[in-house]
A and B are shown apart, each in its own frame.
Chain A
């Protein structure tokens, strides 16, 4: 069994509690216009091309031995200006676990592995196997999900998961559809069920996107929804622009959003106190 991932970040302090290894799975069924990992949307392995970095040396052409690209990655290795990059690689649960286990000693104090993406729950069987390897070896686990998956997928991983990092973007249906391309019906429904069935920790993560959900009204709606489920742990993540260069490499147009100010962020944090 294999899954496609596009990055592994070891020694992460931000994707859940403690020190963590975060695995980014390729493939997502949302199309958030602000996505800062757009290279993770597609499930397929891809060649990224940063046109602005290309110096036109044609080295890539001379090293390529194939008529149609087989994504061997040779041209990316020899490109002198880092204009080409292979995005994505296949990995087995055991291979992935071996990498995670290298940092096992750092996972004390609540740390562990975080499975993120993309949408990691699009690979429920792969996840279940990797998670169970982690649990067998005493490694904590977290699933970072947008929740737009069949509930069965969540159920499959639940027994081996310590923490769900569950993204909520907004409550207003039309807004959700406009921002992410899908309705939030399933997402909210899944969260309700998860809260009922899951006895571990649920941490809600809300991206604050200037021009999308950065209104008190919308955030109060989220707050009310979470209150009704008696969910208290919430993290607000301000939108940032560090992913925008990837849109160029993918040849996708990007919608402009604004970065919320520190003042705005602290006012929003007050709502969730």
Chain B
């Protein structure tokens, strides 16, 4: 990292690079102005009045933020009146303990603006204008106006920089003058070199401050050209990338709790290209290296792995991940995802490969919002069975009969979650998004706001919380009630109705002997597969109100949906007490996975053959640090995770320890009876170790 970047880094981490919105006084609009025209007018006036943040250290400039006084970008949704109304009613408020409304991602596609600039986009809008009718005409006109405003604003910023540069020292002046010169030509026109391309993304990020998407693909042609003709060095490219990443960190104000959370501005490198080749290049690697070198929390990056990704690439990226104290790298499997996007969603291959990861770990297509972000309590159907339909399940003579009753409840709840999702979206859809829609090719083409279904390649992925509890509950019923007959159904029902009081032994038997998800036994794998097959049968072919196909996810995001859902859910057969939080994401915890990493990975990789769960799914692996202390072990881990992807795993991210779990395990050995720790040639259950050794291991464990 050079001195200039170091200086910018200090300013960024001090919160001094966040561009504060400049307040703009409201002006009375003429009465005959329509809504679209008025909103666009207010927006343009707002933009023109924004003061740029200038620093002598800069090589890039041109960010602005919204304050909610006008209709801002579609990610933060400031000034989106109807979204605000929906949020007030539903956001983080569980409905029927079944569904909560969540935020929604919106992922710009920078290809168009990089190719033809805002001028080119304005030309396209003009061409289509006469073919449009009424409202769409108005919207098209509004987009045209906003594009022109951004160009004029940049020209103004260019002049301000030129003025500012006069007082700067020679080196800074040269750099700032170059910035001023270039801001006069991009994003107005298409980018001609690597610097201009980065500048274009830097400026346009204001229009949709969510994700820089498939960054290596955007920049590759410029990088290749610059390196080939000698106008760019790898070092310079790194410097520009680092300044771009610092801008992403600075997009969140320091006072926000999100400033130090690594879930913002997620993007991707690698993955399949439209020509079927693996897209990981030297630039992809440079992008990750540049990012990891910065002591920041944001952004985070996912490597899209393909069968064609060389093992050495996976090794290198996992090695960078291992050294990254801020844990900013995740991994996802293109084989599974592309298969899902083409076969289940029906997208053409060239579109299917244009996805990125955003936010916490949500797949998103370039130029599309995520069609759903609501959360569903998938465990509620189990609660209903045991606490309300107990007479029915008492009469179920075998597991298949029980499963049919379960599936009825499951489908009924999934349908309700589905309906809630449409309801949230229809409320949000009353807003227009002007500035963001400019960077969504389909919205420009159709003159339809992205909030109203203007994007094309979009999936809807509700996050089903508690899926591991659900699978574990069914495993307990199959294994201990029907197969081994260790517990009667009547006893289990009574135990749950009494929240395990008086049935402590039953609960102990379950916790110690059930073949929970993650142990890769015949029971754990057949039950988990069966659940995902049910999900597939329910969701396959279904579309949301905008016509987006549905996929399933399981991640949580920032909010405690699992806790709220858990609080309202009575005891369940997996040993969960009434009110206890649900598990989120796919995986296992509390020491219920007793068979080690390969078994857990087998269960995770094998459960969803069809790929219906290629929505926002997360597999967190908490690995003991000693597992990767020597090169041989680390290489084995890389090979193991590579094979996990070959077997069908969709995602993983690593923690080489879980301090919290170890501390909890020490206090509550019963709940963590299967938690294992490893040292060379030896492993044991953590709870069986001497307290002093437990302390030692806790001490050796690195914080998350």
Contact = CB atoms under 8 A, between A and B. Distances in A.
Interface of A: 9-15, 17-19, 21, 36-37, 50, 53, 59, 63, 77-78, 80-82, 85, 102-103, 105-106, 108-109, 111, 237-238, 240-245
Given A19-B636, A81-B670, A82-B673, A11 B693 contact: no
Contact of A242 (B513, B640, B670, B693): B693
A111 B693 contact: no
Contact of B643 (A63, A82, A108): A108
A53 B636 CA distance: 36
Nearest to B670: A80
A129 to B, nearest CB: 23
A19 B638 CA distance: 10
A266 to B, nearest CB: 13
A61 to B, nearest CB: 14
Contact of A103 (B598, B639, B681): B598
Contacts of A12: 596, 683
B598 A242 contact: no
22 contacts: A9-B596, A10-B596, A10-B598, A11-B597, A12-B596, A13-B636, A14-B678, A14-B680, A17-B632, A18-B639, A19-B643, A63-B505, A78-B508, A80-B670, A81-B670, A82-B687, A102-B599, A103-B598, A111-B636, A240-B682, A244-B693, A245-B689
Contacts of B227: none
A78 B54 CA distance: 68
Contacts of A13: 627, 632-633, 636-637
B416 interface: no
A78 B627 CA distance: 32
Contacts of B512: 77
B647 interface: yes
Nearest to B672: A82
A9 B680 contact: no
B334 interface: no
Given A10-B598, A18-B636, A19-B643, 9 more contacts: A11-B599, A14-B633, A77-B508, A77-B513, A78-B508, A82-B688, A102-B520, A240-B679, A240-B682
B602 interface: yes
Given A9-B596, A237-B680, A242 B505 contact: no
A106 B669 contact: no
A81 B669 contact: yes
Interface string B498-513: 0000001100110011
Those 7 A-B pairs whose CB atoms lie nearest each other, nearest first: A11-B598, A13-B633, A13-B636, A11-B597, A11-B596, A10-B596, A10-B598
A238 B681 CA distance: 10
B491 interface: no
Interface in B476-529: 504-505, 508-509, 512-513, 520
Nearest to A36: B682
B681 A15 contact: yes
B595 interface: yes
B596 A242 contact: no
Interface string B679-702: 111111101111001000000000
B561 to A, nearest CB: 32
Contacts of B680: 14, 237-238, 240
Contact of A245 (B627, B670, B681, B688): B688
Contacts of B647: 105
B646 interface: yes
A105 B601 CA distance: 12
A114 B685 CA distance: 21
Select the residue from B504, B598, B670 with max chain A CB neighbours within 10 A: B598
B7 to A, nearest CB: 39
B118 to A, nearest CB: 51
A108 B635 CA distance: 13
Contacts of B689: 242, 245
A15 B681 CA distance: 6
Determine chain A's interface SS by DSSP, over half rule: loop
B509 A106 contact: no
A235 B52 CA distance: 62
B636 A242 contact: no
Contacts of A240: 679-680, 682
A180 B192 CA distance: 75
A108 B601 CA distance: 16
A78 B633 contact: no
Nearest to B684: A242
Contacts of A85: 688
Select the residue from A102, A111, A240, A244 with max chain B CB neighbours within 10 A: A102
B686 to A, nearest CB: 11
Contacts of A108: 639, 643
Interface string B444-483: 0000000000000000000000000000000000000000
Interface string B576-602: 000000000000000000011111011
A36 B504 CA distance: 34
Given A11-B596, A77-B512, A102-B599, A109 B633 contact: no
A12 B678 CA distance: 9
Select the residue from B504, B636, B682, B684 with max chain A CB neighbours within 10 A: B636
A85 B602 CA distance: 27
Contacts of A81: 669-670
Contacts of B637: 13
Nearest to B599: A10
Contacts of A109: 639
B693 A241 contact: yes
Contact of A237 (B636, B639, B681): B681
B598 A37 contact: no
Contacts of B688: 50, 82, 85, 245
A111 B638 CA distance: 13
Contacts of B597: 10-11
A240 to B, nearest CB: 6
A14 B690 CA distance: 23
A167 to B, nearest CB: 11
B598 A106 contact: yes
A171 B341 CA distance: 63
Select the residue from A15, A77, A238 with max chain B CB neighbours within 10 A: A77
Contacts of B504: 80
A244 B688 CA distance: 11
Nearest to A245: B690
A89 to B, nearest CB: 14
A50 B504 CA distance: 22
A63 B512 CA distance: 15
A23 B443 CA distance: 60
A77 B509 contact: yes
Contacts of B673: 82
Contacts of A102: 520, 598-599, 602
Interface in B635-655: 636-637, 639-640, 643, 646-647
Contacts of A36: 681-682
Select the residue from A37, A59, A106, A109 with max chain B CB neighbours within 10 A: A106
A52 to B, nearest CB: 8
A244 B689 CA distance: 8
A244 B509 CA distance: 28
Contacts of B509: 77-78
A205 B640 CA distance: 24
A103 B693 contact: no
Interface string B652-675: 000000000000000001100100
A7 to B, nearest CB: 8
A242 B682 contact: yes
Nearest to B628: A13
A9 B680 CA distance: 13
Contacts of B640: 11, 19, 106
A124 to B, nearest CB: 23
A242 B679 contact: yes
B596 to A, nearest CB: 5
Nearest to A103: B598
Contacts of A242: 679, 682, 684, 689, 693
B508 to A, nearest CB: 6
Contacts of B639: 18-19, 106, 108-109
